[in-house]
Amino acid sequence: MGKPMTAAEQHIALSAAIHFLGIGLPELWLECFAMGGSLELFDLEAYIYDIATLPPMDRAVLEQVLWELDPVIFDLAFNAPEPS
């Protein structure tokens, strides 16, 4: 395991995973809601487009949903080498 991610690093990795998966935001929101997340679709969209932040709990739910959808793509997004 590497060092813990900052909120900004986590945002980049989550956004990359969503992009790689090609999942629509309504479908992603429904998955998050089903997992117990409390955010609204508008909040999720604002987070993905870097307009707003999410509380740590909602980021954790989003992270779990993305991992469950496709662990390989999740690992690619979260373990990608840092740009030099």
Domain containing 53 equals 7-78
Residue 84 located in a structural domain: no
Report the amino acid identity of residue 80.
Answer: A
Considering its fold, how many domains does the chain have in total?
Answer: 1
Q: Which helix (H) or strand (E) holds 63?
A: helix 56-69
pTM: 0.86
Tell me: the pLDDT tens digits for 39-79? Answer: 999 999 999 999 999 999 999 999 999 999 999 998 888 88
| pLDDT computed for residue 83 by the predictor | 63
Tell me: the pLDDT tens digits for 8-45? Answer: 888 988 998 999 999 999 999 999 999 999 999 999 99
pLDDT top residue among 8 and 4: 8
Residue 83 located in a structural domain: no
